[in-house]
Chains A and B, each alone.
Chain A
Amino acid sequence: GAVVSQHPSWVICKSGTSVKIECRSLDFQATTMFWYRQFPKQSLMLMATSNEGSKATYEQGVEKDKFLINHASLTLSTLTVTSAHPEDSSFYICSTNSGRDEQYFGPGTRLTVT
């Protein structure tokens, strides 16, 4: 399957600051990337779908001005959590497909906002 990396693997930030998470597709060109959020002992919730070169499509209830997504190249998508608050603390995971059905996930980024 595809290899997807995320950076950082974990980050701690202070309330009110912004944090950027990178998602890279290492072995193929990812025209579409997906961003998920997972709270402890819960399922994955899709936040947005990111297409290279165009604006991301956000799921209902996800604030697009708070969770900024940039998909500037076929191998990199970034998620920026702006003005982070403790309730944004979560496990953020990206995934990608190569235009086919299969989605491959990154290792995730643990965000803790203090």
Chain B
Amino acid sequence: GENVEQHPSTLSVQEGDSAVIKCTYSDSASNYFPWYKQELGKGPQLIIDIRSNVGEKKDQRIAVTLNKTAKHFSLHITETQPEDSAVYFCAASVGNEKLTFGTGTRLTIIP
């Protein structure tokens, strides 16, 4: 089955700087890669996703890149703000089948 690895497990960034979280996956059949933000005591919130026919996608301060050959994808957050502090999870799936999640990254924005 699919295995998704995520690094780093914790990340502290000065407010205004950029944050990068990286994930690798094992199943070459995976073609859908979402990123979720989870705040304490809440369910995960979909913040951006990318499909295997695209190499990069951007939504305001958030961007995701995908390298299918190397089987890795990354989340980039620019101009970080205190409200970006949360746990971020990457995931992978084959179409609308079950998601396999990474282990999570706790991002802390230092004011």
The yes or no answer to A99 lying at the interface (CB within 8 A) is yes
Q: Which residues of A contact B29 (CB under 8 A)?
A: none
Interface size on B, residues (CB 8 A): 22
Are A110 and B104 in touch, CB under 8 angstroms?
A: no
Q: How many A-B residue pairs have CB under 8 A?
A: 52
**B41 close to A101 (CB less than 8 A):** no
| Residues of chain B with a CB closer than 8 A to A1's CB | 46
Cα of A29 to Cα of B12 in the assembled complex, Å:
40
* A101/B98 in contact, CB under 8 A: no
Determine how close the nearest CB of chain B comes to the CB of A103; give it in whole angstroms: 6
Judge whether A44 and B101 touch: CB under 8 Å.
yes
Residue of chain B at shortest CB distance from A98 = B96
Name the residue in B89, B98, B100 with the highest tally of chain A Cβ atoms < 10 Å from its Cβ: B98
The yes or no answer to B61 lying at the interface (CB within 8 A) is: no
Give which listed residue, A4, A43, A49, contacts B101 with CB less than 8 A. A43
From the candidates B89, B96, B100, B103, name the one contacting A101 in the complex (CB within 8 A).
Answer: B96
Closest to A1 in B: B46
Q: Which residues of A contact B34 (CB under 8 A)?
A: 101-103
Cα separation A99 to B93 with both chains bound (whole Å): 13
Say yes or no: B44 contacts A44, CB within 8 Å: yes
Check A93–B96 contact: CB distance below 8 A: no
Closest B residue to A107 by CB, please name it. Answer: B43
Contact between chains at A34 and B96 (CB < 8 Å): no
- Complex CA gap A95/B89 in Å reads 15
What are 5 contact pairs spanning A and B, CB under 8 A? A34-B98, A43-B103, A46-B98, A105-B43, A105-B46
Residues in A lying within 8 Å of B, measured CB to CB: 1, 4, 6, 32, 34, 42-44, 46, 49, 93, 95, 97, 99-108, 110
